């Protein structure tokens, strides 16, 4: 069976510090991968998606970046965090060649102080 | 443009039925989804409906689709306190088969009172 992991589960970082959130998927190959942000009391905002290794599409301009160094690894980064980067970050995957059902990870709660 | 709209909040009493509504814009969407998010957790797929169906029933859940009005609803029968969560509607717009992108609504918070 397939599983998706995210870490860390929670993170408190000062403004201006760097960020690295990791997401890995097990039990499947060549998944499409997604990063979402959910601000407090708000819906999901798609930040990045990837259809293959090294292929990243950005949905919104911001000071975050994403990378996919391996087939089942997706990383969300920032060089300098802003207060507005606080939120709940969700990683998701879907089969690349069938359906659109997305499977979500447990999320990372990021607080920027 | 692509947009999915939901009401933000619904409060019901335990044992009553809950109906969560959603409107979407892309009439070519092939699948429409309902996800559930419990506090501090990721999203779990509850159910989905293919666009050529009008209704789908799965135990206490009933999904109704009105393609003409682009309206989707989720009915939860005999609502329990464990059903308290945020419910997201999502559509898979045309052209998303390669990217797998979904368009999510802003979520409806369901509060179940004992």
Query: What per-residue confidence (pLDDT) applies to B2?
Result: 62
CB contact under 8 A, B107 and A57: no
Task: State residue B25's pLDDT score.
Answer: 86
Residue A96's pLDDT is what? 64
Shortest CA gap A15–chain B (Å): 23
pLDDT top residue among A41 and A26: A26
The reply to whether A90 touches chain B by the CB within 8 Å rule is yes
User: What confidence score (pLDDT) does residue A97 get?
Assistant: 55
A44, A45, A91: best mutation site toward chain B, by most B Cβ within 10 Å? A44
**Nearest-angstrom CA–CA distance, A111 and A23:** 18
Rounded Cα–Cα distance for residues B72 and A98 (Å):
23
Among B40, B100, B107, whose Cβ lies nearest the Cβ of A102?
B100
Residues of B in contact with A101 (CB under 8 A): 31, 33, 45, 48
Please give the Cα distance from A78 to A64 (Å, whole number). 5
pLDDT tens, B89-99?
A: 998 877 776 78
* A29 in B contact zone (CB under 8 Å): no
Please, what sign has the CA dihedral across residues A56, A59, A61, A63? Answer: negative
Which tops the pLDDT comparison, B91 or B78?
Answer: B78
The answer, yes or no, to whether residue B30 has pLDDT greater than 90, is no
Q: What are phi and psi of B22, to 5 degrees?
A: -150, 140
Tell me which of A2 and A24 has the higher pLDDT. Answer: A24
pLDDT above 90 as % of chain A: 80
B57-68 tens-digit pLDDT? 999 999 999 999
A8-17, A19-28, A72-81, A92-101: the lowest-pLDDT one: A92-101
Please indicate if any CB of chain A lies within 8 Å of the CB of B47: no
Choose from B32, B100, B101, B108 for mutation: most chain A CBs within 10 A.
B100
Among A11, A28, A101, A106, the residue to mutate for chain B (most B Cβ within 10 A):
A101
Residue A43: which pLDDT band, with cuts at 50, 70 and 90?
confident
Q: What is the mean pLDDT of residues A23-48?
A: 91
pLDDT band at B35 (very low <50, low <70, confident <90, very high): very high
Asked if residue A70 has pLDDT above 60, the reply is yes
Q: What confidence category does residue B107 fall into, taking pLDDT thresholds of 50, 70 and 90?
A: very high
Q: How confident is the model at residue A64 (pLDDT cuts 50, 70, 90)?
A: very high
Over range A77-87, report the average pLDDT.
Answer: 95
Residue B1: band (very low, low, confident or very high) from pLDDT cuts 50, 70, 90: low
CB B18 within 8 A of CB B7: no
Listed in sequence order, the residues at least 6 apart from A41 whose beta carbon sits closer than 8 Å to its beta carbon are: none
Tokens, residue A50: 């990837």
């Amino acid at each position: 069976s397939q599983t998706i992991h995210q870490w860390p589960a929670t993170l408190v970082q000062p403004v201006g510090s760097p960020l690295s959130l990791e997401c890995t998927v097990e039990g499947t190959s060549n998944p499409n991968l997604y990063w979402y942000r959910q601000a407090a009391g708000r819906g999901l905002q798609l930040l990045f998606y990837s259809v293959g290794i090294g292929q990243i599409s950005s949905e919104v301009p911001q000071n975050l970046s994403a990378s996919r160094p391996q087939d089942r690894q997706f990383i969300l980064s920032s060089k300098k965090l802003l207060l507005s980067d606080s939120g709940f970050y969700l990683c998701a995957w879907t089969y690349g060649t069938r359906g659109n059902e997305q499977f979500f990870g447990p999320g990372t709660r990021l607080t920027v102080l | 443009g692509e947009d999915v709209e939901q009401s933000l909040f619904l409060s019901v009493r335990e044992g009553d039925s809950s109906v969560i509504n959603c409107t979407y814009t892309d009439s070519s969407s092939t699948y429409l989804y309902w996800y559930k998010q419990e506090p501090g957790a990721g999203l779990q797929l509850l159910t989905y409906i293919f666009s050529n169906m009008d209704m789908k029933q799965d135990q206490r859940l009933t999904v109704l689709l009105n393609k003409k009005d682009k309206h989707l609803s989720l009915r939860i029968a005999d609502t329990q306190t464990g059903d308290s969560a945020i419910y997201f509607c999502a559509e898979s717009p045309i052209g998303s088969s390669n990217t797998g992108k979904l368009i999510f609504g802003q979520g409806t918070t369901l509060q179940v009172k004992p």
